[in-house]
Amino acid sequence: MKIFALVPVKKFESSKSRLGAVLSINERIKLSELLLINTISILKKSSAISNIVVVSSDERAMEITSRTDAKFLKETKDHGVNAAIAVADDYSSENRAHATIVIPIDLPLLTATDVNMMCRKAKSPERCLVISPSIRYDGSNALLRKPSRLLKTHYDEDSFNAHIRAAIQFGIPIKVFLSQRIMKDLDSIEDIKILMNQRVTNPPVAYLKSKVRTSLLASDPTIN
């Protein structure tokens, strides 16, 4: 099965704005760069992924992608995740993808094993939705659609339930994939606190820990 991984990327300046209390804008830009590099690296290690497609209006995202064999699709400006995925859907259909899996860059604990396991869930039936929720069950931290144009994405408020409702409306079989690594995203200060106690040493996590440990320890002494 030919599965394309779709990676939507916001302008780095706009990314992770909710972390502004502990990270400067330059630190958030650097973190976004490291997260994109890490995400592409993980997807390249996945035996289930045929192609990696990065969609962004950010020149730095284009430069990072150009150093890999991933495909970069340029947007004129940020129009949101759904618009970015629509661009990637066109490319995927033109290149005869059987399925697509949307992977955001803010999954610092993601592994190739998680991606492979999620893709295996889509081997049957011929059409299905495989979804991995956020830890609060309000987001879609990974979304696999088979075939690739199975349904439009709904990455806005409460996207997990929005995707479930859309699949039910169109009679699409749904498979929920629960992975603690995928479910832990990086969107808030609370997410950082959870991450601080994880024994992970990839570049984005190491960078984040080096920048926020002192400030977070002052408010939460339970952080390791």
pLDDT tens digits along 10-66 = 999 988 888 888 899 999 999 999 999 999 999 999 999 999 999 999 999 999 999
Q: What is the mean pLDDT of residues 90-95?
A: 96
| Tokens matching residue 166 | 């859309």
pLDDT value at 223 more than 80: no
Least confident of 3-12, 15-24, 97-106, 158-167: 15-24
Residue 114, both tokens: 């998680």
- Dihedral of CA atoms 192, 194, 196, 198 in degrees, nearest 10, equals -140
User: What pLDDT shows up at residue 214?
Assistant: 60
Domains in the chain, start-ordered, CATH in brackets?
A: 3-213 (3.90.550.10)
| DSSP state at residue 216 | H
Q: What is the mean pLDDT of residues 188-215?
A: 85
Q: Is 3 exposed, middle or buried (0-12, 13-18, 19+ CB in 10 A)?
A: buried
| Residue 15 confidence (pLDDT) | 85
CA angle 127, 148, 204 (to 5 degrees): 115
| Range of weakest confidence among 3-12, 99-108, 163-172, 196-205 | 196-205
For residue 224, pLDDT over 80 is answered with no
Q: What is the mean pLDDT of residues 1-6?
A: 97
| pTM of the predicted structure, to 2 decimals | 0.93
